Structure 1
């Protein structure tokens, strides 16, 4: 694709440079944006008039599990995202698809593989294989992930605060908003997710790939 705008988000400069090389090979006239954290990536996403593709490292310093992917998908739901991870490819790819990922790249992939995945995503083809049969638990998590994908960026941030055990006033301070706004977001989040108790909150955490061991249920 000519004149594409592509965001490369990875906290390791050397790997980010390798991704940029592969991106330029796939789309020589592309404008390449960079980010070293999810917060920087979100700023780039909000500031871009056009954004054709996002390459996102899951293990960013300000993200846990698939929270960064969910947040960027909420910011730009129409933009395909290629997930980059050192996690097991099959498991991570399946879980990433829940939040609209169009492709998956292992950290061990060579430049030719990265270029091919980028080219597929830019052409509108998904580089993720179809999901197989699911267990009841997987289906439940999939349903929750689909609900989370309907949240706005602000609502996802509030949800992450709730799952981290933060109080309303702490979430308000973190996000620089009022407690009343936090409560309004929480009401909307609980309505969209159908969450009414801590057990259901754990399901939401699992759908985001968060560590549930610290949640008091």
Structure 2
């Protein structure tokens, strides 16, 4: 079976450019497209032989670095290459904390994007990934260790959603939301709003008022 590459970006023309870059590096690749984060996560979970995810940070359904975190939680063994218009200096550390192996700007040449794709497929990780030690890095590592459903519940809580609203959003029982949240608090080692705000900052989110 040929290797598959997921191209997740909400701009069709840029998806086409990324697909061209992929085929230059991996001519026999099966390319899966997604224009929203929800579709990207579903496609990642459903695609056999997934070898790489190309991900735009700012696509429908994504807030802060939640897209990287969700996809890494869903397919932890698949490398994620962020291809984004976000400022690299600001985003570099955070996408690495949540499992991305590389970051390339949308302003890059097609040659540079192809080189980044080839490096990611070869198993290379971007240089300078942050070391653990500071509170935000440690929290990011804990968030990255959550299961996909636990992460979705956490994102709902950080967005100010009530348990019943999160249950409706995710199609699960309210009691299940509570059970997931108990597990999340234990894994993150937090017990109050101030500590939860650290998780939000690690994800690049603003805590709902």
Verify same fold: TM over 0.5: yes
Residues 91-130 of structure 1: CA distance to partner in whole angstroms, max 9, x if unpaired? 211110001101101111111011000000111112x221
Q: Which residue of 2 aligns with 1:130?
A: 128
1:159 lines up with 2:154 in the alignment: yes
Residues 1:208 and 2:207 aligned together? no
Match of 1:59 in 2: 58
Structure 1, 83-92 or 147-156: larger mean CA deviation: 83-92
Larger mean CA deviation between 56-65 and 43-52 belongs to: 43-52
Q: TM-score, normalised by structure 1?
A: 0.92
| TM-score, normalised via structure 2 length | 0.96
**1:190 positional shift:** 0.4
| Map of 1:144 onto structure 2 | 139
| Equivalent position of 2:118 in the other structure | 119
What aligned pairs does 1:29-48 form with structure 2 within 5 A after superposition? 29-48=28-47
Q: How far apart, CA to CA, are the structure 1 residues paired with 2:123 and 2:130?
A: 22
- Distance in 1 of aligned mates of 2:199 and 2:85: 23
Unaligned runs of 5+ in 2: none
Distance in 2, Cα, partners of 1:93 & 1:32: 26
Give ranges in structure 1 of 5+ residues lacking alignment.
Answer: none
Match of 1:108 in 2: 107
Aligned to 2:80: 81
Shift of 1:3: 2.8
Rounded to whole Å, the distance in 2 between the matches of 1:45 and 1:5 is: 10
Quick one: distance in 1 between partners of 2:108 and 2:182? 43
Q: 1:133 Cα shift?
A: 7.9
